[in-house]
Amino acid sequence: MSNNDEPILSHLDESGQIRMVDVGNKAPTQRSATAQGRVVMSAQAFGLLTARDNAKGEVLNTARVAGILAAKRCAELIPLCHSLPLSFAGVDFALDEATHSVTITSTCRTDAKTGVEMEAMTACSVAALTVYDMCKAADKGIILENIRLIHKSGGKSGEWHSN
């Protein structure tokens, strides 16, 4: 927000050019962010996923590792992100047989001068892409949906929850 509480795009300067936000004068605080998304697939692909019969290996553990690695490398993927020392990065899954879906929840924490929303969102996105990659032989029409921030805490703006 700007001084008059109007929304602004913090990665653009006054002339509209891109910039990395200067966090040099901010104090480090405990920060946390949680993102969530869903992968929806055919009944056949879901059956293979849950039976652990996918030819490429154990899908969810692979997706978990991929998500954690992505969170750790977020600044290499998103051009204006700051490199952050993560104190925690985790990825969890909930299977829903009725909808043939996997809900992915990723959480990142740090003690830094800027938030970890992008790290949590990147972890969730890459975990979802990994599930797609490992299940695409059974279903090319897999849908990745609703990847979004659901909670953040810390910093000047404090606590935030999605509706």
Which residue out of 22, 53, 133, 139 is catalytically annotated? Answer: 133
Backbone angles phi, psi at 72, to 5 degrees: -70, -20
| One-letter amino acid of 8 | I
Q: Given the structure tokens 């993560």, which residue do they identify?
A: 86
Surface-to-core class of residue 87, CB atoms within 10 Å of its CB (0-12 exposed, 13-18 middle, 19+ buried): middle
List alpha helices for the chain, DSSP H. Answer: 43-51, 59-72, 74-77, 117-135
Q: Are 36 and 150 in contact (CB under 8 A)?
A: yes
Q: How big is the CA angle at 53 (ends 92 and 100), to the nearest 5 degrees?
A: 55
Nearest-angstrom CA–CA distance, 156 and 63: 33
Residue 54 phi/psi, 5° resolution? -65, 130
Reply yes or no on whether 111 is catalytic. no
Active-site residues, by number, are: 133
